Chains A and B, each alone.
Chain A
Amino acid sequence: MNVPAAWYLVLAALLFGVGCFGFLTRRSAIIMFMCIELMLNAVNLTFVSFARTLSDVGGQVSVFFVMVVAAAEVTVGLGIVVAVFRRRTSTSVDELSELKG
């Protein structure tokens, strides 16, 4: 008997938790991006597990779209990081506090 899909769901939940914690605590914008990728991958794993459990290919198609959007997001996000780094010579999000009242 194969490993039940619920195990993969738990694994995805843990992966999402790790990514979320990293996003909330790390300071470097690039590391925060990597943590976003971890969270997106956790959700992808969930989609694939449900696609298998419910025997519906729609979950896998969703993962396909999530990957495309993640690629676009990383492109723009890293562009912003480069643009900010030009002005501030740092990628620490703490130092971007000019809008603070």
Chain B
Amino acid sequence: MIAYAFPSLAVFVVCALMTLGGALGVLLVRNPVHAALSLILSLFGVALGFLAQQADFLAAVEIIVYAGAIVVLFLFVIMFLGIDRHSHREVEPLAGQRFLAALGVGIVVLGVIALIASSHWVSGVPSVSTNGVPLAPGSGNITQIGDAVFTTYLIAFEATGALLLIAVIGAVNLARKERPRVGEEVA
């Protein structure tokens, strides 16, 4: 039995509890607002996991983008629509769906865990994205991410910019109220 350093062990345990607890909260809670709050807990757990694995920038982005923007958007829609404290119908339209879902998910997760346990990932192949420079420790990799995004992944970066613009326009168009145009006959 290898003894792991107590701080990293404690961080992992807290991270796992937050992540899985929040995820189970999303799954089990009836009220959608509470589900969104559980989602925030889970996202903070994931951010903690990022921090523990030297991804400082991503931990910050995780909290800002996910907890700060995406979950707020969820909450906004939930409150805007005023839905639905009453739960949906309990009858399953597909017989045994819950059981089949649990079975399928269980098989896949156990398979993945078995794969993780039996594989050796460290290949010794040098990094592609940074021309063989290894990941800098601590917050030093923020510079590396910036370099990689604006050199190796520049086209993908531009494409995501276009994607965000398209998404904004599409969302505005979708959520807009249908209104008869000026000069058009009201049917």
Contacts and interface: CB of A to CB of B under 8 A. Distances in A.
B35 A11 contact: no
B130 to A, nearest CB: 5
- Most chain A Cβ neighbours within 10 Å, of B74, B125, B141: B74
B132 to A, nearest CB: 10
B1 to A, nearest CB: 12
Given A3-B4, A21-B102, A79 B170 contact: yes
B74 A55 contact: no
Interface of B: 2-5, 8-9, 11-12, 15-16, 19-20, 23-24, 26-27, 32, 35-36, 39, 42-43, 46, 49-50, 52-55, 57-58, 61-62, 65-66, 69-70, 73-74, 77-78, 80-81, 83-84, 88-89, 93, 97-98, 101-102, 104-106, 108-109, 112-113, 116-117, 121-123, 125, 127-130, 134-135, 141, 144-145, 148-149, 152-153, 156-157, 160, 163-164, 166-168, 170-175, 177
29 contacts: A1-B3, A2-B4, A5-B121, A13-B112, A15-B46, A16-B112, A21-B102, A25-B98, A28-B88, A30-B78, A31-B35, A38-B42, A44-B46, A45-B49, A48-B49, A51-B55, A58-B127, A58-B128, A60-B141, A61-B152, A63-B55, A69-B163, A71-B167, A72-B163, A74-B74, A75-B73, A76-B174, A82-B77, A91-B81
